[in-house]
Every structure is written in C-alpha cells, then in structure tokens.
Amino acid sequence: MKDTERADTDAGAGASAGASAELTARFAAEVDWTKVVDLYIPLPDGQYGPDLLERLWSPDLRTADEAQATLHFACCGDGSSVSPAAPEVLPFLVEAVRDPAVAVRVRTQILETLAVLARAGNDACSGPGPKLGGRQRAAPAAWPAAWDRAVDALLPLLADDVEGDEDVRAGVAAVLARATHRADDLIGRFLARFADEPHLSAAEQLVLAVGELAPHAVERREDAVVWLRQRTVDAGKGEEPDMDDDIDAWLAWMEQHGHDVRPAAVVALRRVLRPL
C-alpha cells in the first residue's frame, strides 16, 4: 500500500494516529528551533516551531505532506546543501520513518528527504572554497555525528515486515547507499538481506545500493563485484507458472524469493567499474 493510498484507510485507524504527548514534549525540548527556519523568508516570519514536527504525525495526509515538504526545504533547500536545521530535526525524521505506517503516512517522502540530505552531506566540504565558480557549502559541524546515528537507527528497517512496506525498505536501502563511510559493513548487510527480501522492488534497490557503495569499500569491494556479476546472469526463480495448469508448481514458485534483478545488476556493476 502506498502512503498516498493510506488516506483512504478507515476512520478508526486514522483516529489512532498522531504524535504522543511524550514525543511532542521532546520536539520542544530537544530541538534548537532558532536553527529551524525558512531559508528564504526573513525572521520572524520564517521561524518554525515544534508544531511543524507535530504535523508530520497528523492523521490527515495533506497536513502531514505539507509538513514534510516544509521540513525538506528547511533542511536542504533546493537539495544542494545541509542547513543548520538538518541535525536538529534529523532524529525525529528518522523516528517518524520508524513509526508504524498507520501513525506516519509520509514515510517514503521522508526517506526521499533523507536521501537528498545524505547526498548533500557527502558533497559538502569542510569549509568554503571555489567550486564551479561559486562557493562550496559546508555542512554544519553537528551533521556527521547526527547522520551516523541516523544510519544506525535506520538499519533495522531493512527488514521492516509491516505488510505493504516494501517501498519503505527500498527507501531505506536508497538512503543507506549514501552512507559511503560505512560501505564495507553495509554491503554485507545488503547481501544478507537480499536473500530474504520477498519483493522485487526492494530487492532491486538493494542491488543498486551495493553498486553505489562498492566503489567506496575496502574489504568488500571484490565480493560486491563478484556478487553483482552473478546477479547479471541469474534469472531468479524464472517465469511464473500458470496457476490453472499446475497449482502446486505455482504455489512453490510463489514461496520462493529468487528475484530476476538482472537489469538493476547491470546498472550497479557499471557504477562499480567506472572511475569515481
């Protein structure tokens, strides 16, 4: 089930959604809201407060989606920078992704923001300097540690078994693929998860993630290359049998997890073998 489709869930499910009192108290206590501002609107009009994070947990999809879009812009603007707001709200963005889907309806959108932030953080330099005729954008000093904690918190979601949440697992893999400083560890985790991943879309993203991380790996690079080469020629469990012709064969086929990820593996392998 897509996040947008959850807008049509029954009223009982929606009534149970929303941030807890304990969580809303943490929004106020743990975030330095003086740093969470609109990047283009002068203060005080561009100042945000704890209610912005509260709206992320709203049972109303439109409200949650608007809050997510506002947080995205406050954290990374057009996607090319990591603002001072990012380390402040990152723990709660991750907590929102970790919350059950019935409570947070924009998990996949949040993961897209995390992926953009991770890429901008990787691109950021330690200080200003020339870059394409402009100025390099430095990430806040608090960003690397906040990002590393976020990686640890997201790892369990690779095996998120909530029904219909293959999009979340795929999104988590895409985010973690940008944790290049932990390439060796993550490659091992992705390879192990691939064997147990029941959905093709998430399995394909795991393959692509291996391709993103392998150029940065030290110990696992060759393992990743060998594994990706195997995936380029592995048809998985093959073509789906006709259920009407042989129900037992169809049931056995359905129980297997062997995915045909050859197109994704070719893309990933090219990424590994081309120069950084």
Q: What is the pLDDT of residues 192-203, one digit of tens each?
A: 999 889 889 999
Same domain, 219 and 240: yes
Same domain, 125 and 201: no
DSSP 33: G
SS3 content of the chain, % helix, strand, coil (to 5): 60, 5, 35
Q: Which is higher by pLDDT, 174 or 138?
A: 174
Q: What is the Cα–Cα distance from 228 to 240, expressed in whole angstroms?
A: 23
Same domain, 172 and 90: yes
Same domain, 159 and 189: no
pLDDT at 49 exceeding the cut of 60: yes
Average pLDDT, the chain: 85
Q: What is the Cα–Cα distance from 174 to 188, expressed in whole angstroms?
A: 15
Same domain, 161 and 202: no
pLDDT at 126 exceeding the cut of 90: no
Q: pLDDT (tens digit, 9 = 90+) per residue, 78-124? A: 898 999 999 999 999 999 999 876 689 999 999 999 999 999 999 88
Which domain covers residue 226, as residue numbers?
A: 180-276
In the chain, how many domains are there? Answer: 2
Same domain, 172 and 275: no
Res. 35 pLDDT band, cuts 50 70 90: very high
Same domain, 130 and 251: no
Same domain, 33 and 138: yes
Structure tokens at 247: 């129900």
Same domain, 190 and 163: no
Q: What is the Cα–Cα distance from 23 to 56, expressed in whole angstroms?
A: 12
Q: What angle do CA 204, 174, 119 make, to 5 degrees?
A: 145
Same domain, 166 and 229: no
pLDDT at 180 exceeding the cut of 60: yes
Identify the pLDDT of residue 3.
46
pLDDT at 133 exceeding the cut of 60: no
Residue 114: name the closest of 39, 47, 172 by CA.
172
Same domain, 19 and 116: yes
Strand partners, 37: 47
pLDDT at 46 exceeding the cut of 80: yes
pLDDT at 13 exceeding the cut of 60: no
What one-letter code names the amino acid at 83? S
